[in-house]
Structures are given as C-alpha cells and as structure tokens.
Amino acid sequence: MPKYLARRLGQSLLTVFLTLTTVFLLVRLAPGDPAAAYAGPTATTADLARIRGEFGLDQPLIQQYGIFLRDLLTGNLGTSYSFRAPALDVVLDRMPYTITLAVAAIAVTAVVAVPLGVWMARRADSKRELGANVLTITGQSMPDFWTGVMLLTVFAVLLPVLPASGFTSWSGLVLPTVTVAILQLALISRLVRREMTTALNSPYITVARSRGFSERALTWRYALGNSGVPLITAIGTRFAALLNGVVVVEVVFGWPGVGSLVVRALETRDYPLIQATVLVTATLAILVQLLVDLAYPLLDPRVRLGKAA
C-alpha cells in the first residue's frame, strides 16, 4: 500500500510537471505580446521594452524556464501581470468558488441520476424507461452555454426569482448548478442503469430473492453495492473534469471561479496566471483521481491496490 501510494504520487508529480512545461512553452510560442496587452494601445516602443524587462520576458526562453523552475521549487509562481499580485494567490482566491460549483453540481447529479438509473434498470425496456432515456439524452445534447442563457432568461429576467450572475447569495448557485448537472445526468444515469441491469440479472440476486430478501434490499444494498466501483469511477472522473474549470458555464453566469479567470488570463496573455491556474487545477484533478482509486478497496474488498487482478 505505501509503495503503491508512493508510485502513484510520483507519477502524478511527473504528469503535473510535464503539463506545466507544455503550458510554459505553448504560451510563449503563442502570438500576442503580454507587454502590449498590459501597456495598452498608446504605449511607445520604449515603454514596451521597459515592461518586458520588468516581466523578465527579454531573457532567452531557456533562461526564463530555468527561473520558472527555480521559483516553482520555492512555491513562487510569479506575479500576475493584470492583477499585480502573486499569481498563486489570485488562483487560490478563486478556487473556493469553482470547488463549490463542482461539488454542488456533482451532488445534484448523483442525487438525481442514481435513483433514476435504478428506476430505469427496474423498468428496463418499458416505454416510460425509453422516454426517460430520450429525455436525459436531450439534456446531454443541449450546448451548456445555451442552456445557461435560457435558464437565465427564464428564471432571472422573465420571472426574477433568482439572481442573474455572480455569487452574492447561495441562491446564485442554483442556476449554474442546474446547468452543469443537466449535462452530466445522462452519463451517470445510463451507467447506473447498465450496471444495475447486469447486477439484477445475476444468479446471486436470484438466490437472494428465493431466500426471501426484500426487493428493496436486493436493489439498493446488493445490486447497487456491486455497481459501486464503476459508479465512483465515473463520478470521480466527472468531478475532476469539473474542477478543471467549468469554463463556459462560469463565463455565462459571471461566476468568479477559475474558469472565467482562465479566459481573462488568456486574453491578457498573463503567463504567470495561466501557469498558476494549470498547476492548481491539474493538481486537484489528479488528487481526486487518486482518491477515487484509493476508494476501490473500500467498495469492493476483492480489489487489491498495486497488485495485478
């Protein structure tokens, strides 16, 4: 177990490091001058040169990379050009909002999708199940920005019951959460349905039923329990993806999370900010994946981590 953990952590570190390097190179290859974006259209050549010197952009690429790595070891990711503050702090300030949205969205998804999937498995291939299936597919097929704008129009403009944008009170969380959850519903509910159909047709369920177990226990305890590993994998993967920034939904709702920060950082070519965002989100996403893998033995005692099956 400790050996497995060490190996996984090592791999994760390597992934984060390679991602950061890729991003470091990509942003510097991209056209667009951070100095010009920073100084505005009236800047003179001398101004631009001064700003480049200030940001350290006048040095050769390899030297910039060296400085970047050295600073990385001390936890210093540079100063954001547009916020004039340590880039890491700017990102960490925004992170709670993204985490809140991701947790709320994944919780709503799970609370709706799991019972729905169970219901679909028990009513497999009936007309009503087909209807539910088509409905979730429709939810998955709507572009999230469009769903967001539509919900906004209906619930914030036409019937002003919910705030339109930003995070001023908890009710501001409702619309973004629903928008994200609609997209995830189909995936999770169909996974639950598939796993549950297989489980409910297994011999052990027949045996348990013949011994007089209640249908409720059969469904929720035994069949759903045995679907735990793929279910947690899917939910964990989705959660990790959400942590990486629900860029579009955050932009639509003016949500002050990392997703909208990314868009702004890209527009202003804020290199340190882009790098800090990638570092934080990639680390979090990898941690979630790791936690999911560590949860397998709890859900299924047959799984032994670090050993071939």
Partner 1 sequence: MTTALRSAASSGAPSAGSGGRPSAVTARDLARATATRQRRGARFKLWAGTVCTALVVLPVALARVLPLPGADAQDLSERRLPPLSDGHLFGTDQLGRDLLSRVLHGGQVSLTVGILAVLVSGVIGIAAGAAAGFFGGWADTVVSRLLEAQLALPLLMMLLLVVALFGPSVTVITCVIAVAQWPEVARLTRSLVLVEREKPYVAAARVLGLRGWSVLGRHVIPNVVRPASLVVLLLLAQAVLLESALSFLGAGPQRPFATWGRIISDGQDYITTSWWLVTLPGLVIALLVVGVNLIGDGLRDRTRTARLPRGVRAPRTSRGARAGKGV
Q: Where on the chain is the footprint of partner 1 (CB under 8 A)? A: 4, 12, 15-16, 18-19, 23, 26-27, 29-32, 124-126, 130, 133-134, 137-138, 140-146, 149-150, 152-153, 157, 198, 201-202, 229-230, 233-234, 237, 240-241, 244-245, 247-248, 251, 262-263, 266, 274, 277-278, 281-282, 285-286, 289, 293, 296, 300, 303-309
Question: What is the closest distance, in whole angstroms, from the C-beta atom of residue 108 to partner 1 in the complex?
Answer: 21
Question: What is the closest distance, in whole angstroms, from the C-beta atom of residue 32 to partner 1 in the complex?
Answer: 7
Q: How many CB atoms lie within 10 A of CB 194?
A: 16
Q: Going by C-beta distance under 8 Å and a sequence separation of 6 or more, which residues neighbour residue 33?
A: 48, 269
Question: What is the closest distance, in whole angstroms, from the C-beta atom of residue 211 to partner 1 in the complex?
Answer: 19
Return the number of the residue (30 or 49) whose C-beta is nearest partner 1. Answer: 30
Return the number of the residue (51 or 152) whose C-beta is nearest partner 1. Answer: 152
Residue type, 306: G
Return the number of the residue (50 or 256) whose C-beta is nearest partner 1. Answer: 256
Return the number of the residue (12 or 59) whose C-beta is nearest partner 1. Answer: 12
Return the number of the residue (32 or 96) whose C-beta is nearest partner 1. Answer: 32
Residue type, 43: A
Question: What is the closest distance, in whole angstroms, from the C-beta atom of residue 44 to partner 1 in the complex?
Answer: 26
Question: What is the closest distance, in whole angstroms, from the C-beta atom of residue 46 to partner 1 in the complex?
Answer: 27
Question: What is the closest distance, in whole angstroms, from the C-beta atom of residue 226 to partner 1 in the complex?
Answer: 11
Return the number of the residue (230 or 256) whose C-beta is nearest partner 1. Answer: 230
Determine contact, residues 248/144, Cβ cutoff 8 Å.
yes
